[in-house]
Copies of this chain bind each other. A is one copy, B any other.
Amino acid sequence: MKSIFYSRFFILLPWILIVIIVIDIDTKRLSVRNTASFYLSRLGNVQQRQVVRTTRTSSSSSGSNTTSPPVIYAITPTYSRPVQKAELTRLANTFRQVPQFHWVVVEDSNSHTELVARFLARSGLRYTLLNVFTPRRFKRTGMPRATEQRNLALGWLRGHRASKDKGVVFFADDDNTYSLELFEEMRSTRRVSVWPVGLVGGRRYERPLVEKGKVVGWYTGWRADRPFAIDMAGFAVNLQVILSNPRALFKRRGAKPGMQESDFLKQITKVEDLEPKAQNCTQVLVWHTRTEKAHLGNETKRQQDSVFIEV
């Protein structure tokens, strides 16, 4: 009787061990995979390539769920000019290192340009390419710029994202300079967050003045009477605020110079509700840089090249 018990025990024991080991492997492999994808996502979206190639993306591709951090939707209006590809190149080099990032690029043109479409397809970033042409009558000095492009991007978000999607919306003009820290600051935006912007308003920086965690005024060198004396690069909006205020848009008619930001923000928030980021608005993490127009005065002189080269 005793020997039967032992023999059964020795037959069963290894099988139990096998089951335990197999269960253990599956758990460990999963965790190894998760660790790897954690680093990959920290280091950028290069390998994710959850590329959204058309504007017809369903919201299922937003990749957001209850565990992952909110997706940052950077809205970038752009237009054809000699420095365009250079600007997009250094933007993509920055954005590639931001995890959970979706680039909404809106061209000022009647159709996608080959240059931008090809550039984005090769960028390794998750993106959506849109386009809308700014009517010629709006392209004058003193007129607000990129209004149609930003509004089209807002419309796209409202049509393709739903209340289950976690996200933060940011207006990332194509010639500014962005630090990686900026994106981690804005990611926790609950409604509307604000921070300083460098090299703007004729000063070293503009910033919201903060007291006891609330915005109480603005440090600016230009039109201090603006309700929100802030640059387009100085705030982010939670995706749900964009979705729950479907009529909030940038104004074309009646917009005064420098008032685009205020006109938009007063539709969705109040100054006292703003969330200060970047250590109570005491760090400059984004710069309003401007790139010189390229001088092409010698383009027509001397010999022409025998091949076409994209610049």
In the complex, chain A residues 14-62 whose Cβ is within 8 Å of any chain B Cβ? 14-15, 17-18, 21-22, 25, 28-29, 32-33, 35-36, 39-40, 42-44, 46-47
Interface check A307, CB cutoff 8 A: yes
- Chain B residues lying within 8 Å of A307, measured Cβ to Cβ, are 282
Known interface pairs A29-B32, A35-B36, A311-B199. Does A204 touch B93 (Cβ–Cβ under 8 Å)? no
Task: Report Cα–Cα, A204/B87, bound state, in Å.
Answer: 15
Q: Smallest distance from the beta carbon of A294 to chain B beta carbons, Å?
A: 4
Interface check A194, CB cutoff 8 A: no
Interface check A224, CB cutoff 8 A: yes
- Chain B residues lying within 8 Å of A290, measured Cβ to Cβ, are 291-292
Q: Smallest distance from the beta carbon of A247 to chain B beta carbons, Å?
A: 34
Closest to A179 in B: B89
- Chain B residues lying within 8 Å of A269, measured Cβ to Cβ, are none
- Chain B residues lying within 8 Å of A17, measured Cβ to Cβ, are 14, 18
A203 with B299: CB separation less than 8 A: yes
In the complex, chain A residues 190-249 whose Cβ is within 8 Å of any chain B Cβ? 196, 198-199, 201-205, 207, 219-222, 224
Interface check A140, CB cutoff 8 A: no
- Contact of A287 (CB < 8 Å), options: B35, B89, B297: B89
Q: Smallest distance from the beta carbon of A293 to chain B beta carbons, Å?
A: 9
Interface check A5, CB cutoff 8 A: no
Known interface pairs A33-B32, A284-B309, A292-B292. Does A201 touch B89 (Cβ–Cβ under 8 Å)? no
A86 with B177: CB separation less than 8 A: yes
Q: Smallest distance from the beta carbon of A150 to chain B beta carbons, Å?
A: 23
Closest to A199 in B: B294
Closest to A196 in B: B309
Task: Report Cα–Cα, A117/B186, bound state, in Å.
Answer: 26
In the complex, chain A residues 118-137 whose Cβ is within 8 Å of any chain B Cβ? none
Q: Smallest distance from the beta carbon of A77 to chain B beta carbons, Å?
A: 19
- Chain B residues lying within 8 Å of A180, measured Cβ to Cβ, are 93
- Chain B residues lying within 8 Å of A47, measured Cβ to Cβ, are 39, 43
Interface check A305, CB cutoff 8 A: yes
A65-107 interface code vs B (CB 8 A; 1 in, 0 out): 0000000000000000011011101100110110000000000
Closest to A300 in B: B221
List, sorted by A's number, 6 A–B pairs whose CB atoms are closer than 8 Å. A25-B28, A82-B204, A202-B299, A205-B309, A284-B310, A289-B291
Interface check A1, CB cutoff 8 A: no
- Chain B residues lying within 8 Å of A220, measured Cβ to Cβ, are 302
- Chain B residues lying within 8 Å of A291, measured Cβ to Cβ, are 289-292
- Chain B residues lying within 8 Å of A14, measured Cβ to Cβ, are 11, 14-15, 17-18
